[in-house]
Structure 1
Amino acid sequence: MLDDIDRRLLRQLQADPTMTAADLGLRAGVSALKATRRLGRLQEQGILKGQHALINWAALGYAVGVSLRITLDKTQARAFDNFIEAARDIPEVTEIQTFLGRVDVRLSVIARDMPHYQTIYRNRIMGLPHIADIEALMTVATLHDDESLPL
Protein backbone atom coordinates (compact mmCIF):
# COMPACT_ATOMS: atom_id res chain seq x y z
CA MET A 1 0.00 0.00 0.00
CA LEU A 2 2.68 2.52 1.04
CA ASP A 3 6.14 2.47 -0.46
CA ASP A 4 9.31 3.98 1.00
CA ILE A 5 8.71 7.39 -0.64
CA ASP A 6 5.19 7.59 0.78
CA ARG A 7 6.47 6.65 4.23
CA ARG A 8 9.23 9.27 4.10
CA LEU A 9 6.77 11.96 3.00
CA LEU A 10 4.28 11.04 5.72
CA ARG A 11 7.02 10.94 8.39
CA GLN A 12 8.15 14.42 7.42
CA LEU A 13 4.59 15.69 7.25
CA GLN A 14 3.86 14.30 10.73
CA ALA A 15 7.00 15.98 12.07
CA ASP A 16 6.08 19.36 10.58
CA PRO A 17 2.72 19.69 8.82
CA THR A 18 3.47 23.30 7.84
CA MET A 19 6.22 22.30 5.37
CA THR A 20 5.74 23.14 1.73
CA ALA A 21 5.77 20.38 -0.89
CA ALA A 22 9.24 21.54 -1.92
CA ASP A 23 10.56 21.19 1.64
CA LEU A 24 8.83 17.84 2.08
CA GLY A 25 10.31 16.59 -1.18
CA LEU A 26 13.79 17.81 -0.23
CA ARG A 27 13.64 16.07 3.16
CA ALA A 28 12.15 12.90 1.67
CA GLY A 29 14.67 12.81 -1.18
CA VAL A 30 12.28 13.50 -4.08
CA SER A 31 11.39 16.49 -6.24
CA ALA A 32 8.72 18.98 -5.20
CA LEU A 33 6.57 17.85 -8.14
CA LYS A 34 6.84 14.18 -7.12
CA ALA A 35 6.05 15.09 -3.49
CA THR A 36 2.96 17.05 -4.61
CA ARG A 37 1.74 14.18 -6.79
CA ARG A 38 2.33 11.61 -4.07
CA LEU A 39 0.52 13.71 -1.44
CA GLY A 40 -2.38 14.19 -3.86
CA ARG A 41 -2.58 10.43 -4.42
CA LEU A 42 -2.49 9.80 -0.67
CA GLN A 43 -5.38 12.25 -0.27
CA GLU A 44 -7.38 10.60 -3.07
CA GLN A 45 -6.88 7.21 -1.42
CA GLY A 46 -8.14 8.59 1.89
CA ILE A 47 -4.83 7.91 3.64
CA LEU A 48 -4.03 11.60 4.12
CA LYS A 49 -7.25 13.19 5.40
CA GLY A 50 -5.97 16.74 5.62
CA GLN A 51 -4.13 19.06 7.93
CA HIS A 52 -5.57 20.23 11.22
CA ALA A 53 -4.64 22.82 13.78
CA LEU A 54 -3.99 21.49 17.27
CA ILE A 55 -5.44 23.91 19.77
CA ASN A 56 -4.06 24.29 23.26
CA TRP A 57 -7.39 24.74 25.05
CA ALA A 58 -5.69 25.60 28.36
CA ALA A 59 -3.97 28.57 26.68
CA LEU A 60 -7.44 29.80 25.72
CA GLY A 61 -8.67 29.58 29.30
CA TYR A 62 -10.19 26.09 29.27
CA ALA A 63 -8.37 24.56 32.23
CA VAL A 64 -10.77 21.65 32.91
CA GLY A 65 -11.00 18.53 30.77
CA VAL A 66 -13.49 15.77 31.52
CA SER A 67 -14.12 12.45 29.81
CA LEU A 68 -17.71 11.30 30.20
CA ARG A 69 -18.43 7.60 29.71
CA ILE A 70 -22.10 7.17 28.96
CA THR A 71 -24.35 4.13 28.77
CA LEU A 72 -27.52 4.71 26.80
CA ASP A 73 -31.02 3.33 27.26
CA LYS A 74 -31.00 1.14 24.18
CA THR A 75 -34.66 0.20 24.49
CA GLN A 76 -35.29 3.26 22.30
CA ALA A 77 -34.79 2.57 18.59
CA ARG A 78 -32.97 5.83 17.81
CA ALA A 79 -31.13 6.23 21.13
CA PHE A 80 -27.67 6.52 19.56
CA ASP A 81 -28.76 8.85 16.75
CA ASN A 82 -30.76 11.15 19.03
CA PHE A 83 -28.02 11.30 21.64
CA ILE A 84 -25.20 12.03 19.19
CA GLU A 85 -27.24 14.65 17.34
CA ALA A 86 -27.94 16.48 20.62
CA ALA A 87 -24.35 16.11 21.91
CA ARG A 88 -22.99 17.74 18.72
CA ASP A 89 -24.90 20.90 19.68
CA ILE A 90 -22.87 21.42 22.86
CA PRO A 91 -19.91 23.67 21.95
CA GLU A 92 -17.76 22.44 24.84
CA VAL A 93 -17.93 18.83 23.59
CA THR A 94 -14.71 18.45 21.61
CA GLU A 95 -14.92 14.73 20.81
CA ILE A 96 -17.60 12.05 20.55
CA GLN A 97 -16.68 8.37 20.34
CA THR A 98 -18.96 5.34 20.22
CA PHE A 99 -18.09 1.89 21.57
CA LEU A 100 -19.25 -1.70 21.71
CA GLY A 101 -19.62 -2.95 25.25
CA ARG A 102 -20.95 -1.63 28.55
CA VAL A 103 -20.05 1.97 27.72
CA ASP A 104 -21.78 3.21 24.56
CA VAL A 105 -20.41 6.73 24.12
CA ARG A 106 -17.52 8.83 25.38
CA LEU A 107 -17.65 12.61 25.31
CA SER A 108 -14.63 14.85 25.81
CA VAL A 109 -15.74 18.09 27.45
CA ILE A 110 -13.73 21.24 28.14
CA ALA A 111 -14.59 24.02 30.57
CA ARG A 112 -12.96 27.18 31.90
CA ASP A 113 -13.16 26.01 35.52
CA MET A 114 -15.20 23.73 37.78
CA PRO A 115 -18.20 26.09 38.13
CA HIS A 116 -18.32 26.36 34.32
CA TYR A 117 -18.14 22.55 34.03
CA GLN A 118 -20.94 22.15 36.58
CA THR A 119 -23.10 24.49 34.53
CA ILE A 120 -22.40 22.53 31.32
CA TYR A 121 -23.05 19.24 33.09
CA ARG A 122 -26.30 20.29 34.76
CA ASN A 123 -27.77 22.37 31.94
CA ARG A 124 -26.54 20.58 28.82
CA ILE A 125 -25.15 17.09 29.46
CA MET A 126 -27.90 15.93 31.82
CA GLY A 127 -30.46 17.09 29.27
CA LEU A 128 -29.13 14.76 26.58
CA PRO A 129 -31.62 12.06 25.58
CA HIS A 130 -31.53 8.37 26.52
CA ILE A 131 -28.81 8.46 29.21
CA ALA A 132 -29.02 5.37 31.44
CA ASP A 133 -25.69 5.84 33.25
CA ILE A 134 -22.86 8.35 33.21
CA GLU A 135 -19.35 8.34 34.68
CA ALA A 136 -17.10 11.40 34.72
CA LEU A 137 -13.31 11.12 34.61
CA MET A 138 -11.48 14.41 35.13
CA THR A 139 -8.17 14.88 33.40
CA VAL A 140 -5.44 15.50 35.97
CA ALA A 141 -2.47 15.43 33.59
CA THR A 142 -1.75 14.45 30.00
CA LEU A 143 1.46 12.44 30.07
CA HIS A 144 1.63 11.40 26.43
CA ASP A 145 -0.11 13.06 23.50
CA ASP A 146 1.22 11.89 20.16
CA GLU A 147 -1.02 10.96 17.26
CA SER A 148 1.80 10.21 14.82
CA LEU A 149 2.24 6.70 13.46
CA PRO A 150 5.57 4.85 13.38
CA LEU A 151 6.15 4.98 9.61
Structure 2
Amino acid sequence: MESRKKRRIGALEAMNGWMNVEMSELRLTQRQANERLHVLEKKMLEIDGEINEAEHCLRSSVDPGTKLVLEEYQMLFAYLDHKQRIRVNNERQHGFARERLEKIENEMIQKGLKIRGMENLLERRFRELALDKENKQLSLLDEAWLQKQKDEA
Protein backbone atom coordinates (compact mmCIF):
# COMPACT_ATOMS: atom_id res chain seq x y z
CA MET A 1 0.00 0.00 0.00
CA GLU A 2 2.75 2.40 0.97
CA SER A 3 4.80 1.66 -2.12
CA ARG A 4 1.78 2.38 -4.31
CA LYS A 5 1.29 5.72 -2.58
CA LYS A 6 4.98 6.49 -2.95
CA ARG A 7 4.77 5.67 -6.66
CA ARG A 8 1.74 7.95 -6.98
CA ILE A 9 3.62 10.72 -5.21
CA GLY A 10 6.60 10.18 -7.51
CA ALA A 11 4.32 10.36 -10.54
CA LEU A 12 2.71 13.54 -9.21
CA GLU A 13 6.13 15.10 -8.61
CA ALA A 14 7.20 14.18 -12.15
CA MET A 15 3.98 15.62 -13.59
CA ASN A 16 4.42 18.77 -11.52
CA GLY A 17 7.96 19.18 -12.87
CA TRP A 18 6.72 18.65 -16.40
CA MET A 19 3.96 21.25 -15.92
CA ASN A 20 6.52 23.73 -14.58
CA VAL A 21 8.68 23.18 -17.68
CA GLU A 22 5.63 23.78 -19.89
CA MET A 23 4.87 26.95 -17.93
CA SER A 24 8.40 28.28 -18.46
CA GLU A 25 8.08 27.53 -22.20
CA LEU A 26 4.79 29.43 -22.24
CA ARG A 27 6.44 32.38 -20.50
CA LEU A 28 9.14 32.41 -23.19
CA THR A 29 6.50 32.24 -25.93
CA GLN A 30 4.60 35.07 -24.25
CA ARG A 31 7.74 37.19 -24.12
CA GLN A 32 8.38 36.55 -27.84
CA ALA A 33 4.76 37.37 -28.72
CA ASN A 34 4.99 40.58 -26.69
CA GLU A 35 8.17 41.58 -28.53
CA ARG A 36 6.52 40.84 -31.88
CA LEU A 37 3.54 42.95 -30.86
CA HIS A 38 5.75 45.89 -29.90
CA VAL A 39 7.67 45.63 -33.20
CA LEU A 40 4.39 45.73 -35.13
CA GLU A 41 3.16 48.71 -33.11
CA LYS A 42 6.42 50.54 -33.80
CA LYS A 43 6.14 49.80 -37.54
CA MET A 44 2.55 51.05 -37.54
CA LEU A 45 3.60 54.31 -35.89
CA GLU A 46 6.37 54.79 -38.47
CA ILE A 47 3.96 54.15 -41.34
CA ASP A 48 1.41 56.54 -39.82
CA GLY A 49 4.10 59.21 -39.74
CA GLU A 50 5.02 58.55 -43.37
CA ILE A 51 1.36 58.64 -44.43
CA ASN A 52 0.78 61.92 -42.60
CA GLU A 53 3.89 63.39 -44.17
CA ALA A 54 2.83 62.28 -47.67
CA GLU A 55 -0.71 63.59 -47.15
CA HIS A 56 0.70 66.92 -46.02
CA CYS A 57 2.91 67.00 -49.12
CA LEU A 58 -0.11 66.17 -51.29
CA ARG A 59 -2.21 68.93 -49.69
CA SER A 60 0.56 71.47 -50.06
CA SER A 61 0.96 70.61 -53.73
CA VAL A 62 -2.76 71.22 -54.28
CA ASP A 63 -2.60 74.73 -52.77
CA PRO A 64 -3.48 77.49 -55.20
CA GLY A 65 -0.50 79.20 -56.68
CA THR A 66 1.62 76.07 -56.98
CA LYS A 67 1.95 74.19 -60.20
CA LEU A 68 0.82 70.60 -59.93
CA VAL A 69 2.63 68.08 -62.05
CA LEU A 70 0.40 65.13 -62.86
CA GLU A 71 3.20 62.57 -62.62
CA GLU A 72 4.19 63.80 -59.17
CA TYR A 73 0.58 63.65 -58.04
CA GLN A 74 0.17 60.11 -59.37
CA MET A 75 3.42 58.98 -57.76
CA LEU A 76 2.46 60.53 -54.44
CA PHE A 77 -1.00 59.01 -54.60
CA ALA A 78 0.45 55.57 -55.44
CA TYR A 79 2.91 55.95 -52.55
CA LEU A 80 0.07 56.84 -50.17
CA ASP A 81 -1.98 53.91 -51.41
CA HIS A 82 0.97 51.54 -50.94
CA LYS A 83 1.65 52.80 -47.41
CA GLN A 84 -2.02 52.53 -46.54
CA ARG A 85 -2.06 48.89 -47.68
CA ILE A 86 1.04 48.19 -45.60
CA ARG A 87 -0.65 49.84 -42.64
CA VAL A 88 -3.80 47.73 -43.06
CA ASN A 89 -1.67 44.59 -43.33
CA ASN A 90 0.24 45.56 -40.18
CA GLU A 91 -3.04 46.20 -38.36
CA ARG A 92 -4.20 42.73 -39.35
CA GLN A 93 -0.90 41.23 -38.14
CA HIS A 94 -1.23 43.26 -34.95
CA GLY A 95 -4.70 41.81 -34.39
CA PHE A 96 -3.43 38.27 -34.95
CA ALA A 97 -0.49 38.88 -32.62
CA ARG A 98 -2.81 40.32 -29.96
CA GLU A 99 -5.11 37.27 -30.24
CA ARG A 100 -2.14 34.91 -30.00
CA LEU A 101 -0.84 36.74 -26.94
CA GLU A 102 -4.27 36.52 -25.30
CA LYS A 103 -4.42 32.78 -26.05
CA ILE A 104 -0.96 32.32 -24.54
CA GLU A 105 -1.93 34.29 -21.44
CA ASN A 106 -5.13 32.23 -21.04
CA GLU A 107 -3.13 29.03 -21.46
CA MET A 108 -0.67 30.26 -18.83
CA ILE A 109 -3.54 30.91 -16.43
CA GLN A 110 -4.91 27.41 -17.04
CA LYS A 111 -1.47 25.82 -16.57
CA GLY A 112 -0.96 27.84 -13.40
CA LEU A 113 -4.24 26.55 -12.02
CA LYS A 114 -3.29 22.98 -12.95
CA ILE A 115 0.12 23.34 -11.31
CA ARG A 116 -1.45 24.76 -8.17
CA GLY A 117 -3.91 21.87 -8.10
CA MET A 118 -1.09 19.36 -8.61
CA GLU A 119 0.88 20.92 -5.77
CA ASN A 120 -2.17 20.78 -3.48
CA LEU A 121 -2.78 17.14 -4.41
CA LEU A 122 0.89 16.32 -3.83
CA GLU A 123 0.76 17.98 -0.43
CA ARG A 124 -2.36 15.98 0.49
CA ARG A 125 -0.70 12.73 -0.62
CA PHE A 126 2.35 13.50 1.54
CA ARG A 127 0.07 14.15 4.51
CA GLU A 128 -1.80 10.89 3.88
CA LEU A 129 1.47 8.97 3.72
CA ALA A 130 2.66 10.59 6.94
CA LEU A 131 -0.66 9.77 8.64
CA ASP A 132 -0.44 6.16 7.45
CA LYS A 133 3.06 5.86 8.91
CA GLU A 134 1.94 7.46 12.15
CA ASN A 135 -1.10 5.14 12.36
CA LYS A 136 1.15 2.12 11.75
CA GLN A 137 3.52 3.23 14.50
CA LEU A 138 0.61 3.80 16.87
CA SER A 139 -0.88 0.38 16.09
CA LEU A 140 2.53 -1.24 16.70
CA LEU A 141 2.80 0.61 20.01
CA ASP A 142 -0.74 -0.51 20.92
CA GLU A 143 0.10 -4.12 20.08
CA ALA A 144 3.30 -3.92 22.12
CA TRP A 145 1.38 -2.47 25.06
CA LEU A 146 -1.30 -5.18 24.78
CA GLN A 147 1.38 -7.86 24.62
CA LYS A 148 3.05 -6.35 27.69
CA GLN A 149 -0.30 -6.37 29.53
CA LYS A 150 -0.84 -10.04 28.61
CA ASP A 151 2.64 -10.96 29.81
CA GLU A 152 2.09 -9.20 33.13
CA ALA A 153 -1.24 -10.90 33.70
TM-score, normalised via structure 2 length: 0.17
Higher fraction of strand: 1
